[in-house]
Amino acid sequence: MTQAPIDAPIDTAEEVATARAEGRAVVALESTVIAHGLPWPDNLHAAEAIEAAVREAGAVPATVALADGRLRIGLDPDTLQRLARGGVPVMKVSRRDFGAVLASRALGATTVAGTMAAAALAGIATMATGGLGGVHRGAESSFDISADLAELARTPVAVVCSGAKSILDLPRTLELLETLGVPLVGYGCARLPAFYLRESEHPVPARADSPEEAAAILAAQWSLGLGGGALVANPPPAAAALDPARFAGWLAEAEQEAADQGVAGKAVTPFLLSRLHVLSGGATLAANRALLIENARLAGRIAAALARPRAPETGAPESGASESA
């Protein structure tokens, strides 16, 4: 894993730095869900609950953002409030955006790709999010493909999520993940979860039924030095998951509205998610919050399993080795 230069503009929270130095489990958390994914004050409450879930699982949370010309690995309450409350513009930060946001000293929330890049710089090998970005419908003409996929291909961080977002072209997303050589592990499932939905029709190539099994797969992959990250797909909690038929109807209506209003490019995803919230009577928001917390909890358990020493004959890394793979 590439480490940041000594003089890089990075501020690592003391708790995170101590955990890293002691070889304890750390989980990186993205911040776009705080700034752009959920409304105030639900976003702040969700951020606090997500960090609490990581702690309950035996790991230290490290929410990532950019503020005042610094990359922050682990946020203080004041910065969380600034991201959540709004009132000032918050930039979406992927790998390409770090320089511009740092130089302007703007407030920036990291996407999955941005959080992966930051986690790798900080020596953190596990992160949690809600849903992965992927290939958008109509990408054969628009070329609208999330940077998350390219980041997974080159950055050795395991992303725990509830599969790819339901509004995406799932078959093409899976095809591109395979082409890029990204390991995909279904957690307790044989079919890919689809964000709000517990499963899609698409099988996953590997399965793990415990955090230890997932950690063993990740450790074995990284032990070969092949580079790149991995995807652990965790179905949303059954109580919060949506009915597939009803969701399909809401999505079709939202997509038609987007087309009628000429919504395109980066504006499509937030538009669709906003309309789905309204059309579902808030069910998508409840599902999103529930799966975010469960994914954080699972990421904490996997990170804790990765940090534990393993018997030499397994070929897995010793304590802390996975966090700097």
* Domains annotated on the chain, with CATH: 10-308 (3.40.1790.10)
Q: DSSP state, 222?
A: H
* pLDDT at 251 exceeding the cut of 50: yes
Question: How does pLDDT run across 16-69, given as a tens digit for each residue?
Answer: 999 999 999 999 999 999 998 888 999 999 999 999 999 999 999 999 999 999
Please report which confidence band the pLDDT of residue 101 belongs to, taking 50, 70 and 90 as the band edges. Answer: very high
What's the whole-model pTM score?
Answer: 0.92
**Six-digit token string for 191:** 């079919």
CA distance 92 to 90: 7
Cis peptide bond N-terminal to 41, omega within 30? yes
Bridge pairing between strands 90-93 and 70-73 = unpaired
Alpha helices in 147-207 (DSSP H): 147-154, 170-179
**Least confident segment among 190-204, 242-256, 264-278, 293-307:** 264-278
**Six-digit token string for 94:** 């992927």
CA distance 199 to 38: 23
Please report which confidence band the pLDDT of residue 312 belongs to, taking 50, 70 and 90 as the band edges. Answer: low
Catalytically active residues are: 30, 165
Residue with tokens 């975010």: 292
